[in-house]
Amino acid sequence: MTQLNKITYSRVSESVYQVEFKNGFQVFFIPKPMFTEKTAMLTVHYGSLDNAFTVRNRDYTYPEGLAHFLEHKVFEDERGQDVSQRFTQFGTEVNAFTTFDKTSYFISASNHFMESLTLLQEFVMSAHFTEASVEREKKIIAQEIDMYMDDPDYQSYIGILQNLFPDTYLSRDIAGSRQSIEAITVTDLEKNYKHFYHPSNMTLIVVGDINVEETFKSIENCQDRLKRRKPAKPTISPLPYHSVVKTGSISMDVSTPKLAVGFRGKKLPKGISLLEYKVGLRLLLSLLFGWTSKTYQTWYDDGKIDDSFDIEIEIQADFSFILITLDTNEPIAMSSNIRRKIKDFMKSKDINQDHLTLLKKEMFGDFVQSLDFMDQFVSQFNLYLSAQDSYMDIPQIIEKINFEEILLIGHDFFESAEISDFTVFPK
């Protein structure tokens, strides 16, 4: 008999119930008593990097943007109608997005939640494709691609990734290109749907004022009705690490140059906590460049940076990178300043125990605050979920990680990191 497992996080007075059904479908229930809104996120572990894989010793390669294309087409039912309209009849919001390694379908409702939850499972697990609808979708996605081509912030982002991970799927638009989208066929969609859109490759997160047992039974009944044969498990081709392109630039209609400084980390060994590694890097970079640091305040007061200054940390089993992005009238000088600060981070006066204590309190406060914002919470829980950790482990990591461990993580990442920068200059 399938059983629920309860995990209690006493520090933040939260509980998570986890279950794995016989078909491999994993579900997490997070009760939120007294909350009006209920949310659910159904994630398929299949993203833009999964275009090349092996099944039963046979290699497959598909056009870029196929995962994102599937995300769009899954919303079409057997009659060719948009499933979103059925959610609207329930008063339920529905959306979806594709990342490097995931495709997620999200609903939010105050009423008719159980009906909406059943519909979410049904439409994701029973897709239909026709030649005519695929050709229509190509035009829609082509327009979406064109929109991003005109976005300087996105061009800065994709430009630095092209420098850090040249000639890989990571350096390409998640939506693909006009050429790659045109090459997608109904057969491509059907085969990738069959390989990846099986319950054993999915995770469902349900959050809100729910009756866990009742919701569990509803999902169990739905899964029994949606029985599908389990496909052979694809083996994803590893991401290659080619030589980094040291610098690059383009010109666009911007008033202030946009700078991105990127650090490509090594592939991390198996067995380490990726979440703890990421938290350590986040704390170190907050010490160096966060709004409480002297460096940030000096650069801000001198007009070298503004509120656009941002840090993105991506730590995955197969790749890792850090991006520091900003609008600045001194892109060349600021690239040099950022590189120097990181190279000599041990010399920074901002790296001290008192500052770390302050930042750990701030990080814990941000975590607690996120628990009350349903959309943010379910997204973060989905983002940090792994076989080793979950988003709910962050308070324990914050409490446990010490000054020396943070410095060790910083040395481990940056001593072997390769660096590049990319600038969007005004025309």
- pLDDT (0 to 100) of residue 70: 96
- pLDDT (0 to 100) of residue 2: 80
Final residue of a structural domain among 236, 263, 281: 236
- Kindly state whether residue 210 falls inside one of the protein's structural domains: yes
- pLDDT (0 to 100) of residue 269: 87
Final residue of a structural domain among 186, 203, 236: 236
One domain, residues 153 and 264? no
- Of the pLDDT bands very low, low, confident and very high (cuts 50, 70, 90), residue 405 is very high
**Contact, 25 vs 199, CB < 8 A?**
yes
One domain, residues 362 and 315? yes
Count of CB atoms situated within 10 Å of the CB of 231: 16
Final residue of a structural domain among 207, 236, 265: 236
One domain, residues 199 and 269? no
Closest CA to 120 of 107, 104, 102: 107
Q: What are φ and ψ of residue 143, in 5° steps?
A: -65, -40
**Contact, 392 vs 14, CB < 8 A?**
yes
CA dist., res. 245 & res. 239, Å (int): 17
- Kindly state whether residue 242 falls inside one of the protein's structural domains: no
Specify the number of domains making up the chain: 2
One domain, residues 358 and 394? yes
- 265-281 pLDDT, tens digit per residue, is 999 888 889 999 999 99
One domain, residues 293 and 213? no
pLDDT exceeds 90 at position 229 = no
- Kindly state whether residue 189 falls inside one of the protein's structural domains: yes
Element (DSSP H or E) covering residue 5: strand 5-9
- Of the pLDDT bands very low, low, confident and very high (cuts 50, 70, 90), residue 3 is confident
* Burial label, 387 (beta-carbon count in 10 A; 0-12, 13-18, 19+): exposed
**Contact, 111 vs 90, CB < 8 A?**
yes
pLDDT exceeds 90 at position 388 = no
Of 98-107, 142-151, 247-256, the poorest mean pLDDT is in: 142-151
Q: What is the pTM of this model?
A: 0.94
Closest CA to 35 of 114, 108, 120: 108
Q: What is the mean pLDDT of residues 9-23?
A: 93
One domain, residues 208 and 254? no
One domain, residues 197 and 260? no
Report the CATH number that the domain containing residue 13 is assigned in CATH: 3.30.830.10
One domain, residues 292 and 370? yes
- pLDDT (0 to 100) of residue 79: 83
CA dist., res. 288 & res. 308, Å (int): 17
- Kindly state whether residue 39 falls inside one of the protein's structural domains: yes
One domain, residues 72 and 130? yes
Please give the structure tokens belonging to residue 195: 């390989």
- Kindly state whether residue 241 falls inside one of the protein's structural domains: no
- Of the pLDDT bands very low, low, confident and very high (cuts 50, 70, 90), residue 1 is low
Residue 25 lies in domain: 5-236
One domain, residues 137 and 10? yes
One domain, residues 177 and 257? no
- pLDDT (0 to 100) of residue 317: 87
- Kindly state whether residue 252 falls inside one of the protein's structural domains: yes
- pLDDT (0 to 100) of residue 418: 97
One domain, residues 287 and 188? no
Q: Which residue has 């060349």 as its token pair?
A: 332
CA dist., res. 223 & res. 25, Å (int): 8
**Contact, 178 vs 142, CB < 8 A?**
yes
